[in-house]
Amino acid sequence: MRLVKIRLNDKEEIAMITWNNLDTLESFKELSKVGRVDIKEAMSGDNGAKRVKEYNIPMAEGFTYNFAAKQVDADVLEALAKLAKEAQLTEKFEALYNGAVINTGENRLVLHQLTRGQLGDAVVADGVDKRKFYVEQQERIAEFANKVHSGEITNAAGEKFTTVVQIGIGGSDLGPRAMYLALENWAKKNNTFKMEAKFISNVDPDDAASVLASVDVAHSIFILVSKSGTTLETLTNESFVKDALKNAGLDASKHMIAVTSETSPLAKSDDYLAAFFMDDYIGGRYSSTSAVGGAVLSLAFGPEVFAQFLDGAAAEDKLSKNANIMENPEMLDALIGVYERNVLGYPSTAVLPYSQALSRFPAHLQQADMESNGKSVNRFGEPVDYVTGPVIFGEPGTNGQHSFYQLLHQGTDIVPLQFIGFKNNQLDTDVVIQDSTSQQKLCANVAAQIVAFACGKADDNKNKNFEGGRPSSIIIGDQVNPASLGALLAHFENKIMFQGFLWNVNSFDQEGVQLGKLLAKKVLAHETDGALKELSDMLNI
Ligand SMILES: O=P(O)(O)OC[C@H]1O[C@](O)(CO)[C@@H](O)[C@@H]1O
């Protein structure tokens, strides 16, 4: 057990936070003893209808979090509430947004919520009010984007830029790309679509080459995004793009901007038309609401759309402050996930948005969740004796239904499911076939899946028998739009944070990604022996 003193909002009170391993908490031991819920029974008949109505809590931007088909009942919920209290989830979040050094591994504050609102005290770090700093960067980006849109900033020939291409990887790609794809159709429909965006991330040369072949480089603006400014893939792709610009007779520095931290090697370079900043207190996978997402989304859709996205995230963040788990969807979702992982023993979780707009959202969550909570040591570097983050995967429904759902329905592992569904699609175009629209078919499928997974279907032919008993939750919204997307993103970011608190891991570093990078450098420098040398030879390096 470690005690940490933190100052609470009113600056008078001193709270003691204790960081304990999950398996040392009395409430966790109690939770393990609570009787298991049979979802098949719970979700059948009138009982099921009652649960769907009752196990439903409001989120921001018109969403509701429905957990009727989760393996919980009043006893489990009571035990989870005790766990939340003993694990001091609310106090830990409070410490985080008031500027405590929560990322102990890297000795850093964790400030991504500050990019979209001020949840507590002003946070001053390195002599700077951090909220002010993030807002300033947003304003600088907005001004730049407006000038690009109005034609005040143009290419060398005085012509408007029409396309924006983001170069980055991991958090500098996945979040912004998923958000762009989520809003592209919405923006087109609502006349706020300004520039098409493309993304280059993979160091596979075919990625950069095919994106470059698909754009008009003379009218493209490239955003180099790298917090560290040292990521090999990103710097390689930057050179790739610069070569292409040079070959087209263009001055690269008139076509490139950078988003990075002020301490990175890119920050002071003359190679860019402009540079916008985030900092070390925002992890790559949490950077969609910082300049990392801000530059591409503001250029693509206009700064007002990006501002609405931030407002949605801020509204959800506020809900995450509630100590009552029934008024805090992120905390409840996190607690149920830990119950499923550590008591019920389920190894993975599928995220299944029934929305084409969210086609890359599961990919973003894979990084956000697994890079955060894929840890075997606690925040003090001591091995933990329990399992932590699950494997996260997903695909939009209904496509997933025609691919891996077989295993989800009848496989030997039980995989908890996180559905996301919307009442309305983004574009007006729809068609009535066999008495229903495509949107109705989509929604019918998600409702049907929840009940099919929970209740199953008995059949004498064991091959056609569905055991049921497979838990799921659903987040239901009206439509994917900037504000709802922000709220959805914040929901998952905060869920991951609460789970990290429960597992007592540092969710904000990623040492596990370093070893592979180091060995790759050795391969390229021909400094290898043994298996690595053999593999390098086989790959012709
Ligand atoms: O923005 P950067 O510094 O180029 O890093 C890109 C990505 O690489 C990682 O460090 C993992 O290698 C991620 O955490 C990060 O999102």
227 catalytic residue (yes or no): no
255 catalytic residue (yes or no): no
For residue 244, give the DSSP letter.
Answer: H
Q: 108 and 281 in contact (C-beta within 8 Å)? A: yes
Q: First CA to last CA across the chain, in angstroms?
A: 49
Span from the CA of 85 to the centroid of ligand 1 (angstroms): 34
Q: 332 and 68 in contact (C-beta within 8 Å)? A: no
pLDDT per position in the chain (541 positions), as tens?
455 555 444 444 456 899 999 999 999 999 999 999 999 999 999 999 999 999 999 999 999 999 999 999 999 999 999 999 999 999 999 999 999 999 999 999 999 999 999 999 999 999 999 999 999 999 999 999 999 999 999 998 999 999 999 999 999 999 999 999 999 999 999 999 999 999 999 999 999 999 999 999 999 999 999 999 999 999 999 999 999 999 999 999 999 999 999 999 899 888 999 999 999 999 999 999 999 999 999 999 999 999 999 999 999 999 999 999 999 999 999 999 999 999 999 999 999 999 999 999 999 999 999 999 999 999 999 999 999 999 999 999 999 999 999 999 999 999 999 999 999 999 989 999 999 999 999 999 999 999 999 999 999 999 999 999 999 999 999 999 999 999 999 999 999 999 999 999 999 999 999 999 999 999 999 999 999 999 999 999 9
> Which atom from ligand 1 is nearest to the alpha carbon of 292?
1
Best of 513, 515, 521 to mutate for ligand 1, by most ligand atoms within 8 A of CB?
513
Residue with tokens 């969710």: 507
Q: Is the pTM of this model over 0.90?
A: yes
Q: What is the DSSP string of 189-232?
A: HTT----EEEEE--SSHHHHHHHHHHS-GGGEEEEEE-SSS--H
Using a 6 Å CB cutoff, which residues line ligand 1?
Answer: 169-172, 226-228, 231, 234, 284-285, 371, 510, 513
Span from the CA of 247 to the centroid of ligand 1 (angstroms): 29
Of 172, 171, 146, the residue nearest 161 (C-alpha): 146
For residue 276, give the DSSP letter.
Answer: E
Active-site residue, selected from the candidate residues 188, 402, 457, 464: 402
> Which atom from ligand 1 is nearest to the alpha carbon of 260?
1
Nearest CA to ligand 1 atom 8: 170
371 catalytic residue (yes or no): yes
Nearest CA to ligand 1 atom 4: 226
Q: HEC string of 329-355? A: HHHHHHHHHHHHHHHCCCCEEEEEEEC
Which helix H or strand E contains 17, and what residues bound it?
Answer: strand 14-19
Span from the CA of 226 to the centroid of ligand 1 (angstroms): 7
CA angle 201, 114, 10 (to 5 degrees): 160
In angstroms, the CA 387 to CA 244 distance is: 47
Q: b/e map of 199-227 (b: 16 or more CB within 10 Å)?
A: bbbebeeebbeebbeebebbbbbbbbbbb
Span from the CA of 228 to the centroid of ligand 1 (angstroms): 7
> Which atom from ligand 1 is nearest to the alpha carbon of 231?
4
Active-site residue, selected from the candidate residues 61, 316, 371, 493: 371
Which domains, from first to last, does the chain contain? 2-110+320-503 (3.40.50.10490), 124-310 (3.40.50.10490), 513-541 (no CATH)
Given CA atoms 41, 42, 47, 49 in this order, what sign does their dihedral have? Answer: negative
Q: Which of helix, strand or coil describes residue 171?
A: helix
In angstroms, the CA 205 to CA 197 distance is: 19
Q: What is the ipTM of this complex?
A: 0.98
Best of 177, 510, 517, 518 to mutate for ligand 1, by most ligand atoms within 8 A of CB?
510
Span from the CA of 272 to the centroid of ligand 1 (angstroms): 21
Q: HEC string of 367-430? A: HHHHHHHCCCECCCCCECCCCCCCEEEECCCCHHHHCCHHHHHHCCCCCCEEEEEECCCCCCCC
Residue type, 142: A
> Which atom from ligand 1 is nearest to the alpha carbon of 285?
16
Nearest CA to ligand 1 atom 9: 170
Span from the CA of 19 to the centroid of ligand 1 (angstroms): 27
